[in-house]
């Protein structure tokens, strides 16, 4: 057992209102620069829909993530040989049309137009060519089922019989929002795809980053990531991606998307896992076993043995304390209501989702139904959002974990409603979903009333490990060429107290790599 | 002070916003009737007011045009109506003085002799045009102008206006209100907009005064959505020529006062004020009976059967001097919170200390002084005033109430306090909630729990309203009204062009997901996060019928105007509906219409103000005018439009 700590996220889809505040604050902080116009490290998609970039979930087309071949894990896009063969032409790279052609407007005309017959108007123009643009697609073109009758059928989750169940008709309409960032996977295929070793997963917190100095523009990470959350900056010629706002995380603050989330749907916390078994978990034969396999990697922070080993593996005491208070561990492991996004990609993603329940309850809120488990739960299988649709997204098609999650959420609602009405809830309701009353109460607190410091339990990064703070004086950490920091070129300073000069994290000096399949040179 | 729906520190705010510390009463106008006349939309009203009368009614509205109802409401003092008379009130007071009469008596005499008329009775006479508009914190044209194209044509005289409507036939026209054969266009002489965006209003303005944004000024903010008062603080100075709202008005006042030395001097004005809510005016016209002095049904008595007529001396050279200081009426008359007087005492000296003195009065020479004064003069931010207000209410009701506010009697929220953190407001007779340290605001809890009479005729929650007009409409009790049969009245809205696939849909314009009204709608991020310009949502069933595909350009049109927008086709929309999120201004990505060859319009280009006569009722208990509280709405949404695909490539 080798204990590692990961900062992970849970998003409660039951509470997302699709306001896109996360997208805008992320955009303003990270990708409002030349070369990043089309990038949205955080985007929010309406489901069912094809998403951004179009059909990113269709791995038959993009070949992202991993697959099992002959019982062995390999990149879906192929191993070293195919990488070399496609080094100069990568057929699985999304084009600008798959994202969208970023545009702006001729705003200037509104203040400079001369007297004219018609009211002046700012026309859209391409940020790429500068020419007038006939808008045909955008990063959120499908908001609230916009154009769904034309596009939503192409949602890759409508497969394996679900497409038969889903009718795109007014009376049967359903939708929910899916906010997405980088998954900061335990087994990141972007990292493994990089021919230059420029991508790395940080040992101390599991954040996946691109070393802007090492990146050689091959773009294999872009195609290798099945979530399409690595982007190519056309201006700098480097890959860029969601950083999990690491400068904030290091200071114990939530990511900007979490900080500004209006619906308070996001949770951030530490999850301890066994790094020795990552490859094994990603390699289970049946895709439906990937969720239990990933859950089995997560270590119980209350287990003295785990804590002892964690200390031996260099995890600080305050991180162990944070792991015990982790809302992510509670929702994913203890309560089993959070589920991973597309575990079948075998990257072991670390942004998990509580499935949406809202449209169900309107169907089952008959008189007395919330007190009677027999009335609440059968309706779970008659949701407007078919369970199988959610299963195709969250559990590699296995409806059972989704059902467990939704039943627990339904029971929690009935339970809490009884309490609010001054009635003692029937313990049978808790028992029916395999929970103790106090567990339901704890889950309710976390999902409904938890304050800032309960939703974000983020231990600060220890200054004594990794980089010398002294050597970083005057640097801002984000000031690579074309980066959002713009503090000027970073001079690598010599620490007068004798520490090594700045090490690029992931070059081995930061304590070794956390990734089972570090790069394609090692992958078979 | 900016507020979303609810100005919590209402007493202090209204004292300063309406200069009640120097002059009373202010002129305040209900906007729907104002624009109904000013933009000549009344000329296109082809249904009579009695079209929705019940057969069991009393005939109170028989034969009346809605503009006649409005003229009656002005004449009887139900609704404010400015300009009030067909002559300048400054001239009227001069004439009265020359005739050796008091101005109100003189005006009554002239009215009876029919030598003086209400402007609402002849809105298209040039002497009755509104001539000057200064727009502040509003996007009139891009957002709130119901009947947008009528505004462009009749108020502004814009060549591009796309009104396609026909005016009322002779037998459909008003009888009381004068009809001019030619509808006037371009009534305005000067249109000024204070804004920080080059939006639809600014584009049509003669003068644009660039304003500071929220992070470039000091200000206060409150809302109905939470119980806190917030401060705005200047993070950066206003860029280029932009100024804070405070500085803009201050500078205009300064220059105006300089010019007034030569042009106006000191004059006596005559304000015609409506019968007001929460005052004895509520009993002016009892029993719900409508008596029109003009028809000899009663005598014209100001404040009783017609508006109050209040002479106000105005020293126009002193406007700037008064702008810079808190006036003496602040403590002499205090402010009125729902009829309960709030009288500052120690607060005046506190403001002297905090703001400094000017001309012997507390200074208001900086924006923060204004904020300080608002907080000091409001019960929700000044516990002493709240307790005193409740004591006043105790005397009126005979029940103990002051204890509601006593727990925070010593709390005085200052601007500095709000800069540290948002401050929770205090329970105060300005509002009706029993909020406390333990409890959140909830309306009417003081009425329910402390037996303070509701502000109705009966003092109870009241559903039955026995007014002649309500009885005429069969609405003395709440009732269901089906959507108006618009097409039945105005006929088909389809173009009738050969071979064009067109469809009628009911027009909906809910609040926008991508902007706050029109604000931020032209922001690149907001535009990028959907379709990059104006869109109309259509059902896939309807879209199929008229061969419109998702993202096709289409025209939405009716007799009022034309919109050009992209179609969003979705099964989320039920058939029969066209939905355009409101306030999609026409200055971003809007091509020309093929029907009119003018610029496509806003969501309000296909709407029109439709006044409901019963909304005009006044002078009768709870149905009495209150600024931003009680008055007619625009009811523009009961409208039908036609939709069709734009055939050619969009032309800008």
Give residue A470's pLDDT band: very low, low, confident or very high (50, 70, 90).
Answer: confident
Query: Per-residue pLDDT tens for B168-218?
Result: 999 999 999 999 999 999 999 999 999 999 999 999 999 999 999 999 999
Section A211-215 average pLDDT: 92
Query: Per-residue pLDDT tens for B123-158?
Result: 999 999 999 999 999 999 999 999 999 999 999 999
Cβ-Cβ contacts under 8 Å between A and B: the total is: 121
Partners of A10 in beta bridges: A267, A352
Instruction: Please report the pLDDT score of residue A479 as a whole number.
Output: 64
To the nearest whole Å, the CA of B30 is away from the closest chain A CA by 29
β-pairing verdict for A351-354 and B207-210: unpaired
Q: Is the pLDDT of residue A503 over 80?
A: no
- Is residue B501 classed as helix, strand or coil in its secondary structure? coil
Section B369-380 average pLDDT: 97
Pair of tokens at residue B362: 């507390």
- Is residue B4 classed as helix, strand or coil in its secondary structure? strand
Give the DSSP letter of residue A33: S
Mean pLDDT, all residues of chain A: 88
Section A47-73 average pLDDT: 96
* Nearest-angstrom CA–CA distance, A298 and B435: 48
Q: Is the pLDDT of residue A325 over 70?
A: yes
To the nearest whole Å, the CA of A141 is away from the closest chain B CA by 5
Query: Per-residue pLDDT tens for A224-266?
Result: 999 999 999 999 999 999 999 999 999 999 999 999 999 999 9
Q: Is the pLDDT of residue A495 over 50?
A: no
ipTM value for the complex: 0.92
Tell me the percentage of chain B whose pLDDT exceeds 90.
Answer: 92
Query: Per-residue pLDDT tens for A426-465?
Result: 999 999 999 999 999 999 999 999 999 999 999 999 877 6
Give residue B274's pLDDT band: very low, low, confident or very high (50, 70, 90).
Answer: very high
CB B369 within 8 A of CB B355: yes
Query: Per-residue pLDDT tens for B505-544?
Result: 999 999 999 999 999 999 999 999 999 999 999 999 999 9
Query: Per-residue pLDDT tens for B354-365?
Result: 999 999 999 999
- A262 to chain B, any CB pair closer than 8 A? The answer is no
Instruction: Please report the pLDDT score of residue B454 as a whole number.
Output: 95
Section B237-241 average pLDDT: 96
- Is residue A226 classed as helix, strand or coil in its secondary structure? coil
- B549 to chain A, any CB pair closer than 8 A? The answer is yes
Instruction: Please report the pLDDT score of residue B5 as a whole number.
Output: 78
Give the DSSP letter of residue B313: E
- Show the DSSP H helices in A325-386 as ranges: 327-329, 358-364, 373-376
Instruction: Please report the pLDDT score of residue A331 as a whole number.
Output: 98
* Inter-chain touch B530–A151, beta carbons under 8 Å: no
Residue B56 burial (CB count, 10 A): 8
Give residue B429's pLDDT band: very low, low, confident or very high (50, 70, 90).
Answer: very high
User: Which residues of chain A have a CB within 8 Å of the CB of B539?
Assistant: 170
- A146 to chain B, any CB pair closer than 8 A? The answer is yes
Of B160, B540, B588, the CB nearest to A105: B588
- B338 to chain A, any CB pair closer than 8 A? The answer is no
- Show the DSSP H helices in A334-426 as ranges: 358-364, 373-376, 387-394, 399-420
Instruction: Please report the pLDDT score of residue A463 as a whole number.
Output: 77
Instruction: Please report the pLDDT score of residue B198 as a whole number.
Output: 94
* Inter-chain touch B198–A148, beta carbons under 8 Å: no
Q: Tell me chain B's radius of gyration from C-alpha atoms.
A: 26
User: Which residues of chain B have a CB within 8 Å of the CB of A119?
Assistant: 158, 160, 200, 203-204, 586-587, 599
**CATH code reported for the domain at B314-450:** 1.20.1700.20
* Inter-chain touch A105–B522, beta carbons under 8 Å: yes
To the nearest whole Å, the CA of B242 is away from the closest chain A CA by 15
User: Which residues of chain A have a CB within 8 Å of the CB of B193?
Assistant: none
Query: Per-residue pLDDT tens for A378-392?
Result: 567 777 788 999 999
Q: Is the pLDDT of residue A89 over 80?
A: no
Instruction: Please report the pLDDT score of residue B446 as a whole number.
Output: 96
- B207 to chain A, any CB pair closer than 8 A? The answer is no
Section A143-164 average pLDDT: 94
Better-predicted residue by pLDDT, A310 or A78: A310
The burial class, CB within 10 Å (0-12 / 13-18 / 19+), for B426 is buried
Instruction: Please report the pLDDT score of residue B292 as a whole number.
Output: 98
Pair of tokens at residue B649: 């490539």
Kindly list the strands in the beta sheet with A266-274, ordered across the sheet, starting from the edge strand earlier in the chain: A266-274, A3-12, A351-354, A339-340
Pair of tokens at residue B622: 């709870």
Section B647-651 average pLDDT: 94
Q: Is the pLDDT of residue A377 over 60?
A: yes
Closest by Cα among B43, B66, B77, B92 to B623: B77
Q: Which residue of B has its CA nearest to A38?
A: B528
To the nearest whole Å, the CA of B370 is away from the closest chain A CA by 32
Section B457-461 average pLDDT: 95
Query: Per-residue pLDDT tens for B477-502?
Result: 999 998 888 999 899 999 999 999 99
Instruction: Please report the pLDDT score of residue A171 as a whole number.
Output: 85
Section A45-62 average pLDDT: 97
CATH topology of domain B486-645: Barwin-like endoglucanases (2.40.40)
**Span of A17-21, A97-101, A459-463, B79-83 with lowest mean pLDDT:** A459-463
User: Which residues of chain B have a CB within 8 Å of the CB of A131?
Assistant: none
Please state the domain extents for chain A: 1-100+127-466+503-524
Name the range with the highest mean pLDDT among A78-82, A396-400, A477-481. A396-400
* Inter-chain touch A118–B528, beta carbons under 8 Å: no
CB B537 within 8 A of CB A147: no
Residues carrying CATH 2.40.40.20, chain B: 486-645
* Inter-chain touch B550–A169, beta carbons under 8 Å: no
Instruction: Please report the pLDDT score of residue A464 as a whole number.
Output: 76
Q: Is the pLDDT of residue A86 over 80?
A: no
Residue A405 burial (CB count, 10 A): 26
Pair of tokens at residue B205: 């303005």
Instruction: Please report the pLDDT score of residue A87 as a whole number.
Output: 73
Give residue A474's pLDDT band: very low, low, confident or very high (50, 70, 90).
Answer: low
β-pairing verdict for A176-180 and A43-47: antiparallel
Instruction: Please report the pLDDT score of residue A165 as a whole number.
Output: 83
Section A282-293 average pLDDT: 97
To the nearest whole Å, the CA of A138 is away from the closest chain B CA by 6
Residue B112 burial (CB count, 10 A): 14
Q: Is the pLDDT of residue A70 over 80?
A: yes
Instruction: Please report the pLDDT score of residue A360 as a whole number.
Output: 53
Residues carrying CATH 1.20.1700.20, chain B: 314-450
Query: Per-residue pLDDT tens for B55-111?
Result: 999 999 999 999 999 999 999 999 999 999 999 999 999 999 999 999 999 999 999
CB B454 within 8 A of CB B444: yes
Q: Who contacts A510 (Cβ-Cβ below 8 Å, separation ≥6)?
A: A202, A203, A204, A465, A466, A467, A503
Give residue A150's pLDDT band: very low, low, confident or very high (50, 70, 90).
Answer: very high
């Amino acid at each position: 057992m080798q204990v590692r700590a990961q900062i992970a996220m849970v998003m409660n889809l039951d509470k997302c209102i699709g306001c896109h505040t996360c997208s805008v604050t992320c955009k303003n902080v990270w990708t409002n620069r030349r070369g990043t116009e089309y990038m949205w490290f955080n985007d929010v998609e309406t489901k069912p829909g094809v998403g951004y970039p179009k059909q990113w979930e269709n791995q038959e087309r993009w070949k992202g993530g991993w697959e099992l071949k002959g019982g062995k894990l390999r990149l879906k896009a192929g191993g070293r040989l195919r990488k070399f063969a496609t080094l100069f032409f990568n057929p699985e790279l999304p084009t600008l049309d798959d994202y969208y052609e970023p545009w702006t407007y001729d705003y200037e005309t509104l203040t400079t137009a001369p007297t004219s017959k018609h009211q002046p108007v700012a026309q859209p123009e391409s940020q790429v060519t500068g020419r007038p643009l006939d808008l045909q697609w955008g990063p959120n073109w499908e908001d609230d089922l916009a154009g769904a009758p034309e596009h939503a059928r192409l949602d890759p989750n409508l497969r394996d019989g679900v497409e038969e169940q889903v009718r795109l008709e007014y009376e049967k309409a359903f939708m929910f929002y899916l906010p997405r960032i980088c998954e900061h996977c335990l087994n990141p295929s972007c990292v493994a795809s990089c021919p230059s070793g420029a991508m790395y997963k940080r040992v101390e917190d599991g954040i996946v980053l691109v070393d802007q100095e090492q990146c050689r523009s091959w773009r294999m990470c872009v195609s290798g990531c099945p979530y399409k959350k690595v982007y190519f900056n056309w201006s700098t010629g480097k890959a860029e991606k969601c950083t999990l706002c690491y400068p904030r995380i290091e200071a114990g603050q939530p990511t900007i998307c979490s900080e500004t989330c209006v619906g308070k749907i996001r949770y951030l916390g530490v999850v301890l896992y066994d790094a020795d078994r990552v490859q094994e978990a990603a390699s289970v034969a049946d895709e439906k076993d990937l969720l239990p396999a990933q859950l089995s990697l997560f270590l119980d922070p209350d287990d003295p043995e785990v804590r002892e080993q964690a200390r031996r593996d260099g995890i600080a005491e305050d991180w162990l304390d944070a792991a015990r208070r982790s809302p992510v561990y509670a929702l994913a492991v203890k309560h089993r209501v959070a589920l991973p996004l597309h575990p079948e990609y075998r990257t072991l993603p670390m942004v998990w989702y509580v499935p949406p329940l809202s449209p169900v309850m309107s169907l089952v809120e008959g008189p007395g139904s919330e007190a009677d488990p027999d009335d609440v739960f059968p309706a779970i299988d008659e949701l407007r959002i078919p369970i199988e649709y959610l299963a195709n997204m969250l559990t590699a098609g296995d409806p059972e974990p989704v059902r467990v999650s939704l039943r627990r959420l339904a029971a929690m609602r009935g339970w809490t409603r009884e309490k609010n009405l001054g009635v003692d809830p029937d313990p049978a309701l808790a028992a029916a979903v395999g929970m103790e009353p106090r567990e339901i109460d704890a889950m309710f607190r976390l999902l409904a009333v938890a304050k800032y410091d309960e939703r974000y339990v983020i231990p600060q990064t220890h200054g004594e490990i990794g980089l010398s703070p002294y050597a970083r004086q005057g640097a801002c950490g984000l000031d690579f060429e074309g980066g959002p920091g713009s503090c000027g070129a970073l001079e690598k300073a010599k620490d007068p107290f004798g520490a090594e000069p700045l090490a690029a994290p992931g070059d081995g000096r930061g304590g070794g790599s956390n990734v089972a399949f570090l790069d394609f040179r090692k992958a078979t | 002070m900016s507020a979303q729906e609810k100005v919590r520190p209402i007493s202090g705010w209204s004292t300063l916003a309406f200069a009640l510390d120097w002059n009373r009463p202010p002129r305040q106008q209900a906007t729907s009737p104002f624009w109904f006349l000013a933009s000549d939309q009344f000329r296109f009203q082809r249904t009579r007011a009695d079209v929705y009368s019940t057969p069991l009614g009393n005939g109170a509205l028989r034969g009346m045009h809605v503009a006649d109802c409005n003229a009656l409401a002005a004449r009887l003092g139900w609704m404010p109506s400015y300009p009030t008379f067909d002559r300048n009130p400054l001239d009227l007071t001069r004439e009265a003085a020359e005739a050796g009469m008091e101005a109100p008596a003189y005006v009554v005499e002239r009215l009876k002799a029919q030598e003086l008329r209400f402007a609402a009775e002849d809105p298209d006479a040039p002497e009755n045009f509104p001539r000057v508009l200064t727009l502040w914190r509003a996007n009139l044209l891009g957002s709130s102008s119901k009947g947008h194209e009528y505004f462009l044509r009749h108020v502004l005289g814009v060549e591009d206006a796309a009104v396609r409507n026909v005016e009322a036939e002779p037998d459909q026209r008003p009888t009381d209100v004068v009809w001019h054969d030619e509808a006037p266009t371009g009534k305005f002489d000067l249109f000024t907009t204070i804004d920080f965006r080059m939006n639809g209003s600014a584009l049509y303005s003669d003068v644009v005064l660039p304003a500071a944004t929220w992070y470039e000024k000091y200000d206060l903010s409150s809302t109905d959505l939470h119980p806190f008062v917030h401060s705005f603080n200047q993070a950066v100075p206003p860029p280029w020529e932009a100024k804070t709202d405070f500085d803009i008005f201050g500078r205009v006042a300064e220059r105006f006062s300089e010019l007034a030395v030569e042009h106006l001097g000191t004059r006596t004005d005559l304000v015609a004020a409506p019968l007001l809510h929460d005052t004895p005016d509520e009993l002016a016209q009892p029993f719900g009976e409508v008596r029109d002095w003009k028809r000899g049904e009663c005598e014209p008595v100001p404040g009783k059967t017609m508006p109050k007529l209040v002479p106000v001396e105005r020293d126009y050279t002193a406007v700037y001097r008064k702008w810079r200081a808190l006036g003496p009426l602040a403590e002499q008359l205090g402010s009125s919170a729902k009829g309960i007087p709030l009288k500052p005492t120690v607060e005046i000296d506190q403001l002297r200390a905090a703001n400094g003195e000017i001309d012997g009065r507390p200074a208001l020479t900086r924006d923060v002084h204004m904020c300080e004064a608002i907080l000091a003069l409001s019960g929700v931010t000044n516990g002493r005033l709240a307790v005193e207000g409740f004591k006043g209410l105790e005397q009126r009701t005979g029940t103990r109430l002051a204890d509601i506010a006593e727990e925070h009697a010593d709390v005085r929220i200052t601007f500095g306090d709000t800069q540290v953190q948002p401050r929770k407001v205090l329970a105060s007779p300005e509002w009706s909630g029993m909020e406390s340290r333990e409890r959140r605001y909830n309306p009417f809890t003081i009425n329910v729990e402390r037996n303070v009479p509701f502000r109705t005729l009966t003092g109870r929650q009241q559903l039955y309203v026995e007014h002649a007009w309500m009885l005429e409409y069969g609405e003395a009790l709440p009732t269901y009204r089906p959507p108006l049969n618009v097409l039945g009245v105005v006929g088909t809205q389809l173009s009738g062009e050969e071979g064009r696939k067109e469809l009628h849909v009911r027009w909906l314009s809910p609040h926008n997901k991508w902007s706050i009204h029109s604000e931020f709608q032209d922001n690149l991020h907001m535009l990028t996060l959907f379709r990059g310009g104006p869109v109309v949502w259509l059902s896939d069933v309807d879209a199929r019928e008229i061969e419109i595909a998702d993202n096709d350009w289409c025209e939405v049109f009716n007799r009022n105007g034309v919109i050009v927008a992209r179609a969003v086709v979705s099964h989320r929309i039920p058939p029969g509906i066209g939905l355009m999120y409101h306030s999609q201004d026409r200055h971003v990505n809007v091509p020309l219409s093929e029907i009119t060859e003018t610029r496509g319009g806003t969501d309000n280009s296909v709407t029109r103000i439709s006044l409901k006569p019963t909304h005009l009722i006044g002078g009768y208990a709870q149905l009495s005018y209150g600024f931003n509280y009680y008055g007619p709405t625009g009811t523009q949404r009961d409208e039908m439009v036609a939709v069709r695909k734009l055939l050619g490539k969009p032309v800008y």
